[in-house]
Amino acid sequence: MRKLRQSHIFDRAEHDHYVEEKWCSECLFATEDFTGPIYDPCCGWGRVLDAAKAAGFVTVGSDVVDRGASRAHNFYHSDFLKKSSLDWEAVGSFVSNPPFDQIEDIARRCVEIAKHKVALICPLRRLPAAHSWLSELPLSKILIMTPRPSMPTGEYIASGGKVGGGTQDYVWLIMKKDYHGPVVTAWLHRDA
């Protein structure tokens, strides 16, 4: 007997608005040390910022569309990859679930500006092709999220769609300012 598929295949979301499960950021802040304020340049609904705020950090976010993060956080309606008048001196760390087709440019800009650390969500399947640019950045750790998180479109969740049954593996890419050394691979477990 054939098992029914429990996962969803989503159409490409406008502005690549895919929403990670809350535990992805909550577990990250529970296990990694950051200096704040925490800035999310692609903050969407603000889930990363919510977790950072719950962990005691001052939060700042921006996005090309205000999807509601402005109600709970310092928010700027802007494109992070374009010139900005924000005060970057105040940013300690960047943490984000960026549009995956722009992850290289976002990672490079974050590392350039951050005072301490950068953490970005990335699909695991993209890592082999990312070697060419990731090897140029101060990548210190790859945290594999387990169980597989579901990252549906924001539109799907807003319409009442059920979240669960992730089919892709995702990682947190952790980059430390001026880090030189081996890349540590570890697991970030939802229930640990």
Burial of 125 (0-12, 13-18, 19+ CB in 10 A): exposed
Instruction: Establish if 7 belongs to a structural domain.
Output: no
Q: Is residue 145 pLDDT above 80, yes or no?
A: yes
Region 168-185 average pLDDT: 96
172 in any annotated domain? yes
Domain that holds residue 174: 16-189
Q: Which residue has the higher pLDDT, 107 or 86?
A: 107
Residue 118's CB: how many other CB atoms inside 10 A?
Answer: 28
Positive or negative torsion for Cα 21, 24, 30, 33: negative
Confidence of residue 159 (pLDDT cuts 50, 70, 90): low
88-140 residue pLDDT tens = 777 899 999 999 999 999 999 999 999 999 999 999 999 999 999 999 999 99
Q: Are 27 and 47 in contact (CB under 8 A)?
A: no
Residue 6 within any structural domain of the chain: no
7 band by pLDDT with thresholds 50, 70 and 90: very low
In the numeric block, which tokens belong to residue 30?
């529970």
Question: CATH code at 124?
Answer: 3.40.50.150
The 10s digit of each residue's pLDDT in 21-76 is 899 999 999 999 999 899 999 998 899 999 999 999 999 998 888 777 677 777 88
Whether 48 is covered by a domain: the verdict is yes
- pLDDT bin (cut points 50, 70, 90) of residue 9 is very low
Question: What is the pTM (predicted TM-score) of this model?
Answer: 0.86
**What's the Cα-to-Cα distance from 144 to each of 91, 98, 124, 128, rounded to whole Å?**
26, 17, 8, 15
Confirm whether 4 is domain-assigned.
Answer: no
165: in domain? yes
Residue 123 lies in a domain: yes
Domain assignment present for residue 98? The answer is yes
Q: Give the count of domains, the chain.
A: 1
Q: How is residue 32 written in tokens?
A: 């990694």
